[in-house]
Amino acid sequence: MVTHNGLALTRQAVRSVLQHTVWPAFDLVVVDNGSTDGTADDLQQLTREEARVKVILQERNEGFARASNRGIRESEGEYVVLLNNDTVVTRGWLGRLIRHLERNRDAAMAGPLTNSCGNEARIAVSYRDGRERDAFAAALARENDGRSFDVSMLALFCTVIRREALREVGLLDERFEVGMFEDDDLARRFRDRKYRLLCARDTFVHHEGRGTFARMADREYVRLFEANRKKFEDKWGTLWENQALRQRLPDEERIPLLRRDLRWILNRHPDRRGVMVYPPTIDWSIDLFQRPQQLAIGLSAAGYLFIFCTPTPGTDNLAGFRYLGPNLYAYHGPLEIFDEMPAPIVWISRADLRRHLRHFSRPWVVYDWIDDLSVFHAYYPRMTRPHRALLRTADLCLATATRLADEARKRRPDVRLCPNAADYDLFARAQNRSAAPIPEELKPLTGTGRPIVGYFGALAGWLDYDLIRHVAECRPEWQLLLIGPDHDGTLPREQLAPLSNVTWLGARKYQTIPRYLAWFDVAWIPFHVNRITLATSPIKLFEYMAGGKPIVAADLPECRKYSPVLVARTHAAFVSQLDRAMTLRHDARYLAELDAVARQNSWQARVEEITALLPDAKRAGGRPTP
């Protein structure tokens, strides 16, 4: 524990450690950084009363990293704990954290949940005093015993570290002086050695927050923060990922810092084919990982620097820029920072966001028309005018479905048809059920031995629930599995609940979907045929193909154009086509045809088509903003 003044906080922290630590053998090493408020005298008195406490007094403030390193060198034991003096630990905290490391030998660090920190370890709390806090922590421990989750960084306000792993990567980097960024740096070194970092769901430690730094004015704190952030970025050659601190600053101070980050990113990618910006439309980490994210990944892999702007900070825990992969960054913040970037390619997939073009200098505009405008419901009335303007003035117009392309050609003859596609490599894993463990929640279904007819995607008004009910009643020997969010609140739970052979699992993370698809016997698209679906290019269609599953779909133009798809116009025809699909599960010729069509419709194939139409960085000029 490192201290620098804050006598009352230190007393509280030390008392909680001595009272609530039930681990059989531990020592508390306190390194005081030149306190002037009586802390040093108080600590020396404590050593006379408590044999487990050792105090190291330093004449001046050596900073958090140097003081922590001295304490680590003076300590013994298999595990090292870094604990701030503005914390209050709760009963059993240390034992639970150590047990997580003992159960996960590939983990180097474990930390608790808390009320105050800058990442996903922070949770909402309801306690008002110490007694309620202890009861809150005890309940959390009971309900989440043994549970943890992986994080990319653990704040060092309370962290248990495996000493052997610490020897491998080295002690805290002392270049950060007074403090901040030692935790990001240490986490980066552990991750580079393939160690995991765990946040324990069953352990809670109260954190006052900022401790010594709380006595700094906000602007002084931000200046120190920015200086150490630069040291971190210079050391690692990468942009720091979590910039929520900047939200404290007024725009006139925050925008120049974000401009600096943008320049830093541009300078890191001198060989880019061009710069592409996707204005804030959807968040990056949503469960329905779709066309915008897939094209961003593909175009960045093709050499374009792609900046994916998000509309909200919460889903991605984002404020500023975040590195997502080679040539790919997410961004949440003011778009004014882009006005000095010459001739970017601006990718628009929602017509009303044309208004954002004013923030760009001479943009080369791509309008990607992905759905019938009526799908946007409340936004529909204000879509028509910008939609027509984009068809008229965009440098490149794409349409995902033949119906959309035909409509667009009335105003824009050179529109390009560019349907959706699949991440073939990811979904092809579903062709081999033994490639990954079966999800636990599927075992009750697969254990029955009954065929599974599966669907994944949004559950919304375009889904034909009457059809689902009809098939469930006609084929009680089948299991009907639905995976996806209740997108618009239209899921008739009360109508589907009585059907024992219909299971709805809710949304699942995109990367895990192939594990579920592997256990489908047949996949289907039970859509209504209406204005929206007639203009829809279902991404799941190509994902089903890549997974090697026979497909039955509603009579939609974007489905019937592919010969392996079995199309049905009526409820009775759906049952008949599903029966037929069951017979194709092991038909080698049919499965080979499915696979061939899936390979032709991968996102990589789409990106190759698109890049042939885009300007190269060497010649990107573009027209003035329309």
CA distances from 275 to 329, 394, 427, 620 (A): 11, 17, 29, 10
Q: Name the helix (H) or strand (E) containing 49.
A: helix 39-49
pLDDT band at 117 (very low <50, low <70, confident <90, very high): confident
Return the pLDDT at 378.
60
Cβ–Cβ < 8 Å for 172, 218: no
Answer yes or no: is 531 within a domain.
Answer: yes
- Tell me how far apart the alpha carbons of residues 316 and 176 are, in angstroms, rounded to a whole number: 27
- For residues 211, 216, 217, 219, the Cα torsion angle rounded to the nearest 10 degrees is -100
Answer yes or no: is 244 within a domain.
Answer: no
Answer yes or no: is 231 within a domain.
Answer: no
SS3 509: coil
Answer yes or no: is 582 within a domain.
Answer: yes
Residues 208 and 313 in one domain: no
pLDDT of 211 above 60:
no
Give the list of residues 6+ apart from residue 592 with CB closer than 8 angstroms, or none: none
- CATH number of the domain at 16, please: 3.90.550.10
- Segment 336-345, tens digit of pLDDT: 999 988 889 9
Q: Locate 152 and state its tokens.
A: 């990319």
| Strand runs labelled E in 7-52 | 28-33
Q: Residues of the chain with pLDDT > 90: what percent?
A: 74
Return the pLDDT at 115.
93
Cβ–Cβ < 8 Å for 359, 339: yes
Residue 503 bridge partners (DSSP): 481
Answer yes or no: is 282 within a domain.
Answer: yes
Average pLDDT over residues 194-209: 94
Residue for token pair 């117009």:
397
- Segment 579-621, tens digit of pLDDT: 999 999 999 999 999 999 999 999 999 999 999 999 865 444 3
Residues 269 and 401 in one domain: yes
- Segment 488-513, tens digit of pLDDT: 888 877 678 789 999 999 999 899 99
pLDDT band at 210 (very low <50, low <70, confident <90, very high): low
Least confident of 55-59, 250-254, 350-354: 250-254
Instruction: Indicate the residue type of 493.
Output: R
pLDDT of 144 above 70:
yes
Return the pLDDT at 619.
40
pLDDT band at 120 (very low <50, low <70, confident <90, very high): confident
pLDDT of 312 above 70:
yes
555 CB burial (10 A radius; 0-12, 13-18, 19+): middle
Residues 383 and 444 in one domain: no
- CATH number of the domain at 293, please: 3.40.50.2000
Average pLDDT over residues 212-238: 74
- Tell me how far apart the alpha carbons of residues 610 and 617 are, in angstroms, rounded to a whole number: 15
- Tell me how far apart the alpha carbons of residues 162 and 197 are, in angstroms, rounded to a whole number: 11
Residues 116 and 145 in one domain: yes
- CA 12 to chain centroid: 37
Average pLDDT of the chain to the nearest whole number: 90
Answer yes or no: is 620 within a domain.
Answer: no
What number of other Cβ atoms are within 10 A of residue 309's Cβ? 22
pLDDT band at 322 (very low <50, low <70, confident <90, very high): confident
pLDDT of 255 above 80:
yes
Residues 184 and 40 in one domain: yes
Return the pLDDT at 608.
96
- Tell me how far apart the alpha carbons of residues 205 and 112 are, in angstroms, rounded to a whole number: 6
SS3 443: helix
Answer yes or no: is 433 within a domain.
Answer: yes
What is the total count of domains within the chain? 3
How big is the chain by its Cα radius of gyration, in Å?
29
In 3D space, the residue among 2, 16, 151 whose CA is nearest the CA of residue 92 turns out to be: 16
CA distances from 333 to 256, 285, 297, 462 (A): 12, 17, 21, 34
Residues 90 and 70 in one domain: yes
Residues 29 and 88 in one domain: yes
Q: Which of 173, 198, 220 is the last residue of a domain?
A: 220
Answer yes or no: is 245 within a domain.
Answer: no
Average pLDDT over residues 9-37: 94
> What is the sign, positive or negative, of the torsion defined by CA atoms of 257, 259, 262, 263?
negative
pLDDT band at 42 (very low <50, low <70, confident <90, very high): very high
- Tell me how far apart the alpha carbons of residues 284 and 312 are, in angstroms, rounded to a whole number: 10
Residues 345 and 478 in one domain: no
Residues 507 and 373 in one domain: no
Instruction: Give the structural domain span for 206.
Output: 2-220
SS3 54: strand
pLDDT of 623 above 60:
no
Residues 289 and 344 in one domain: yes
Residues 117 and 196 in one domain: yes
Residues 400 and 459 in one domain: no
Instruction: Indicate the residue type of 229.
Output: R
Q: Which of 192, 220, 248 is the last residue of a domain?
A: 220
pLDDT band at 382 (very low <50, low <70, confident <90, very high): confident
